[in-house]
Amino acid sequence: MVYGQSKNNYPKQLYNFKCVLSIFIHESQINHYKLQKKLKYSRIIAGTMTWGEWGKKFSKNETIDLIHYCLEQDITSFDHADIYGGYTTEADFGNALSETNIPRDHIQLITKCGIQYLCENRNLKINHYNYSKDHIIWSAENSLKHLKTDYLDLLLLHRPSPLMHPDDISEAISQLKQQGKIKHFGVSNFTPSQVELISKEHEVSANQIEFSLTHHDALYDGTLDQMIKKNMIPMAWSPTGSIYKENTEQIQRIKKQLSELTETYGATQDQLLLAWILKHPSQIHPVIGTTTKERIKAAAKSIHLDLDFEDWFLILAASQGHKVP
C-alpha cells in the first residue's frame, strides 16, 4: 500500500473526506428523519382552552383575528378538546374557521375525547371517562362536525381511565383512520405503562403531558425517555406551570434565576420558560394557553433561543432547590 493511500486505494485525503461526508450524510439523514417525525405540527401549538366559554369568550371576529395572528407567527397547530367551554369551544372555533379562506392543509387540528364532564350540555350522574369503541367514534365525529372539517390531524385520549381496554380503543382508531377521519392517534396524561398498554394494539404518536419548570416529573419518571425511544411527539400543556398562579419559594427562585439570564439571551422571562422546555432532546412541543398577542408572538420567537447547557442546569437547580449530584 502506498503511503498516503487508504486500504481502499483512495488517496488518504479523499478517504478522510469520504468518511466525513458519510458521517455528514448519516447525520443529515437522522436529522431529516427527526424533522419528518416532528414537523407534523408547529413547534409551538396554540391551546384554545380559554378562547371561548372557559375564558375570554371571543366573538367570531375576534377568533378569526386570533387564528390569523397565530398563523402569521408560524403557529399552525391548534389544540382543542371536546370538553373545552363545556363542549362549546370546538364549535365556536369551527364557525370562525369556516369563514376564513385558510386552506385546510395550512393548519393542524388536534382534539381530545373521553372525558365525560358534568355540565349543561351533558346530562350525567358524575364526571367520568368513556373509552368504549362507540363513544370514541361518536366523540370524534362530533368534533369533526363542530370544527367543520373532514379530518382531525390528531385525536388524543384526554386522560387515562382505569376501565380502558386496548382492543376497544384499537377498533375505534382503526375505523376512524380507515375512514380518513383522523390522521394520527395519541394520548394525554398517560404514564409510560399506560402508553405500552395502548400501543400494544395501535401506534401512539403523541403524549400531551403537563410539563414546565414547576412540573417536571416527566424528566425522571420515564415519560420523556419513552417518547424518544418510541419516536413519539411530546406536547407540554401549561408550559408556564404555576409561575403566574402562585408565589412559592420555588417560583421566587426560578424568577430570580431567569431574571439573571434575560439580558444574556435578550429574551423575556416567558421566552426562557419555553426555551428551557424546548431544549429537551425529545423535542417537546409547548401548547401555549395565552390569548395575549404579544405573548403569542414572544412564544413563537422562543424556538430560536438555544440555552447553554450550564444555563439549562442553573434553571433546573433553581426549580429543584438543589444542584444535580
Ligand X SMILES: NC(=O)c1ccc[n+]([C@@H]2O[C@H](COP(=O)([O-])OP(=O)(O)OC[C@H]3O[C@@H](n4cnc5c(N)ncnc54)[C@H](OP(=O)(O)O)[C@@H]3O)[C@@H](O)[C@H]2O)c1
Report d(CA 52, CA 91) in Å as an integer: 10
Report d(CA 66, CA 311) in Å as an integer: 33
> What residues have CB less than 8 Å from 208, skipping those under 6 apart?
79, 112, 156, 186, 187, 188, 189, 234, 235, 236, 237, 287
Give the footprint of ligand X on residues 52-81 (CB under 6 A): 79
Which is nearer to ligand X, 45 or 64 (by Cβ)? 45
Report d(CA 37, CA 234) in Å as an integer: 11
Q: Specify the stretch interacting with ligand X by CB under 6 A; choose among 126-134, 137-145, 199-207, 287-295.
A: 287-295
Which is nearer to ligand X, 48 or 257 (by Cβ)? 48
Is the CB of residue 89 less than 8 Å from the CB of residue 96? Answer: no
Report d(CA 274, CA 240) in Å as an integer: 8
Q: What is the closest distance, in whole angstroms, from the C-beta atom of residue 79 to ligand X in the complex?
A: 4
Taking alpha carbons only, the member of 106, 159, 151, 85 closest to residue 128 is: 159
Q: What is the DSSP string of 139-182?
A: HHHHHHHHHT-S-EEEEEE-S--TT--HHHHHHHHHHHHHTTSE
Helix 166-178 × helix 133-147 angle, to 10°: 40
Q: The C-alpha cell of 134 is what? A: 362507540
Task: Pick from 6, 161, 290, 320 the residue near ligand X by CB under 6 A.
Answer: 290
Which is nearer to ligand X, 49 or 176 (by Cβ)? 49
CA dihedral for 260, 262, 265, 271, sign (positive or negative) = positive
Which is nearer to ligand X, 49 or 154 (by Cβ)? 49
CB nearest ligand X: which residue? 289
Task: Pick from 41, 42, 47, 261 the residue near ligand X by CB under 6 A.
Answer: 47
CA dihedral for 122, 190, 147, 95, sign (positive or negative) = positive
Which is nearer to ligand X, 137 or 156 (by Cβ)? 156
Which is nearer to ligand X, 270 or 311 (by Cβ)? 270
Which is nearer to ligand X, 160 or 171 (by Cβ)? 160
Q: Does 82 bind ligand X (CB under 6 A)?
A: no
Name the catalytic one among 84, 87, 131, 151.
Answer: 84
CA distances from 43 to 51, 53, 66, 217 (A): 20, 26, 18, 21
Q: Residues touching ligand X: how many (CB under 6 A)?
A: 21
Task: Pick from 52, 114, 186, 239 the residue near ligand X by CB under 6 A.
Answer: 239
CA dihedral for 270, 271, 274, 280, sign (positive or negative) = negative
Beta strands in 20-107 (DSSP E): 45-47, 77-79
Q: What is the closest distance, in whole angstroms, from the C-beta atom of residue 156 to ligand X in the complex?
A: 7
Q: What is the closest distance, in whole angstroms, from the C-beta atom of residue 76 to ligand X in the complex?
A: 15
Query: Is residue 84 among the annotated active site residues?
Result: yes
Site string for ligand X, 241-280 (x = CB under 6 A): ---x-------------------------x----------
Q: Does 215 bind ligand X (CB under 6 A)?
A: no
Q: Does 208 bind ligand X (CB under 6 A)?
A: yes
Q: Does 92 bind ligand X (CB under 6 A)?
A: no
Site string for ligand X, 175-194 (x = CB under 6 A): -------------xx-----
Q: Does 240 bind ligand X (CB under 6 A)?
A: yes
Task: Pick from 149, 226, 238, 271 the residue near ligand X by CB under 6 A.
Answer: 238
Q: Does 153 bind ligand X (CB under 6 A)?
A: no
Report d(CA 63, CA 80) in Å as an integer: 14
Catalytically annotated residues: 84
Give me the residues that bind ligand X (CB under 6 A), please. 47-50, 79, 188-189, 208, 237-240, 244, 270, 287-292, 295
